[in-house]
Structure 1
Amino acid sequence: MLTGLLFALCAMVLNCGAGLLQSAAANDGSPRHLVLRPFYLAGLLIDGVGWACTVVALRHLPVFAVQALIGGAIALTAVATWLLYGVRLRVIDRVAVGACVLGLAAVAASAGGEAASDLTGVVSVVLGAAVAVLAVAAIAVWRLAAAWPLSLIAGLGFGGTSLSVRALRTPDGFDVAALAVQPATYLIALFWIIGISTYSRALVLGSLSSVTAVFATTEVLAPGLVGIVLLGDPVRPGWWIPLGAGLAVAVAGVVVLANAPAPPVGHRRRRRRPVR
């Protein structure tokens, strides 16, 4: 479990850094397409390393425990945007960020021992249907002016990659042929494409703190519940009430942050001139 914990924490830090770079790219006013901007490409690279850490963590911990630890990026992002850009959240938004973090901490603490490993083909069918629904939803909300629907879909998309990783049957050693014939391998790619595209679009429309809060909390809650019901991820005995309370508090925080005002495009922290 210690290995899973360490890799999940590494993924949290890397995801925060990637979000900062991608947000900077989305708001730099460059005439180039977003995917061609250096900061965005650097963010994608860091995202990839973070995802690799997530994969390792998922081999040792239940889905909802890993996702909840990664959700700590909410607090890191809020602090980082204040330090780097001077973007201050409203009091109610700061309370909501705290609610998300506390709720996710309760969810993570509810995790039981080793995750179940004997999975059926039904899992792939359910995930296949989910990726199709998400693709349609992403197309439907793409042109909306609000960031939160895109953040929500992004969280579900990246959460779907975690569920697909857990659905993979990994024989001893790295067997490319064995991975190539499994539907989960392709589901990982499809969920990732939906997640990264909607997340990038959300960063163009909303503030990084609000987008990250909605995205990260959704990435924890939905896949975590699916992991418990569909994958057999264990919950600690006697911890169902804290788990439910954590879910409720985190969702309440997301509802508030979904309506947080976005800063002007290109907003950066102003440097104070020294008084002579």
Structure 2
Amino acid sequence: MTVLAFAVAVAAMLANTAATLLEARGSRRARPGQPVWRQPSYVVGLLLDGLGWVLAVVALRTLPVFAVQSVLTSSVALTTVLHRGGVRRLGRGEAAGVVGVVLGLVLVAGSAATDRPDSLPAAATPVLVGAAVLLAVVARPVARCGRPLVVAAVAGIAYGGAALCVRALHITDDLVADLRLLEHPLTWSLVVLGVVGVVLVAAALRDGSPGTVTAVLSVTEVLVPGGAGLLLLGDAVRPGWEPALAVGVLLLVGSVLLLARQGEQVRRPSARREAV
């Protein structure tokens, strides 16, 4: 069952990678009178995003959130490689950044204990619902701020919050119980956070490099649920893995900064050529 769950998580990662590239293409083709929502590639990307999300939810029923998120972050490397046209076309900085992000995320994911409390802490629901409301309020101004890395980070927070909602809902195999989840405020928080994430990712991809946006998004999606899980859901660090967690966080931050710098260096020559 665990092997099958990992296979589902890998399928979700592949769907997310394809979605990111297609959404980036659609976002850049948007023009006045031709909004991004009418771009076929963007619509297909959204459908693949939905498929990836469903697959991730299925994987989360068996695997802890850190395990699933660590698999999903493999899209960082794949997105950057595909966007650049192959491994051989990666610069040394990009290659180092991709490797650093993946290794850092693996360490962060591996440091999380798989045990979780049987009951949901009382503070979890109001905090997650409040976060959904707050992000819904700030989504529009953030999307218009013109800073793709900031937008991607907030999108990652939204997606991370959605993952926490999935885990907190305690999905069971009881169909009646599943139907009752529709009445739970966390279910609607999950929907709100997912929509906010989609909107902000579109804004980030419009102005930023797909590889860099995906890196920031992936890091945030792991760190935010990780910290919130420790503080809010009763998750714990595996005994003896505290140093690995610290190294993983340092790798993540450094590699994201490196990828951001490399992405900007790649975009500037392209922008100058288009201007000419």
Q: Identify which range, 219-228 or 250-259, moves more after superposition.
A: 250-259
Q: Report if aligned partners of 2:30, 2:36 keep a CA contact under 8 Å in 1.
A: no
Residues 1-276 of structure 1 correspond to what in structure 2 (within 5 A)? 1-28=2-29, 32-83=34-85, 90-175=91-176, 177-259=179-261, 260-261=263-264, 263=267, 264=270
Q: Report if aligned partners of 2:29, 2:36 keep a CA contact under 8 Å in 1.
A: no
1:90 deviates by: 4.9
- Amino acid in the other structure paired with 1:130: A
1:169 deviates by: 3.5
1:107 deviates by: 1.7
Give 3-state SS (helix, strand or coil) of 1:192's partner. Answer: helix
1:190 deviates by: 0.4
1:221 deviates by: 1.0
CA distance in 1, matches of 2:88, 2:188: 39
Q: Report if aligned partners of 2:61, 2:171 keep a CA contact under 8 Å in 1.
A: no
Q: Report if aligned partners of 2:152, 2:213 keep a CA contact under 8 Å in 1.
A: yes
Q: Report if aligned partners of 1:18, 1:43 keep a CA contact under 8 Å in 2.
A: yes
- Amino acid in the other structure paired with 2:76: I
1:229 deviates by: 2.3
Give 3-state SS (helix, strand or coil) of 2:85's partner. Answer: helix
Q: Report if aligned partners of 1:135, 1:194 keep a CA contact under 8 Å in 2.
A: yes
User: For the structure 1 residues 53 and 115, does the alpha-carbon distance in structure 2 shift closer, same or farther, using more than 3 Å as the test?
Assistant: farther
1:163 deviates by: 0.5
Aligned residues: 266
Q: Report if aligned partners of 2:26, 2:39 keep a CA contact under 8 Å in 1.
A: yes
CA distance in 2, matches of 1:27, 1:188: 28
- Amino acid in the other structure paired with 2:43: L
User: For the structure 1 residues 138 and 29, does the alpha-carbon distance in structure 2 shift closer, same or farther, using more than 3 Å as the test?
Assistant: closer
Counterpart residue number, 1:274: none
Structure (1/2) with the larger helix percentage: 2
- Amino acid in the other structure paired with 2:47: L
CA distance in 2, matches of 1:127, 1:87: 43
User: For the structure 1 residues 227 and 27, does the alpha-carbon distance in structure 2 shift closer, same or farther, using more than 3 Å as the test?
Assistant: same
User: For the structure 1 residues 243 and 91, does the alpha-carbon distance in structure 2 shift closer, same or farther, using more than 3 Å as the test?
Assistant: same
- Amino acid in the other structure paired with 1:187: S
Structure 2 residues not aligned, in runs of 5+? none
Deviation digits for residues 176-206 of structure 1 (CA, Å, limit 9, x no counterpart): 5411221111011100111000000111101
- Amino acid in the other structure paired with 2:105: L
1:231 deviates by: 1.5
CA distance in 1, matches of 2:115, 2:100: 28
CA distance in 2, matches of 1:2, 1:47: 23
CA distance in 2, matches of 1:43, 1:209: 16
Deviation digits for residues 6-60 of structure 1 (CA, Å, limit 9, x no counterpart): 2222211111011111111112356521112111111111111111111112122
Give 3-state SS (helix, strand or coil) of 1:237's partner. Answer: coil
Deviation digits for residues 95-116 of structure 1 (CA, Å, limit 9, x no counterpart): 2222111101112222333544
Q: Identify which range, 175-184 or 95-104, moves more after superposition.
A: 175-184
Q: CA RMSD in A?
A: 2.5
Q: Report if aligned partners of 2:143, 2:204 keep a CA contact under 8 Å in 1.
A: no
User: For the structure 1 residues 172 and 57, does the alpha-carbon distance in structure 2 shift closer, same or farther, using more than 3 Å as the test?
Assistant: closer
Structure 1 residues not aligned, in runs of 5+? 269-276
Give 3-state SS (helix, strand or coil) of 1:18's partner. Answer: helix
TM-score (norm 1): 0.87
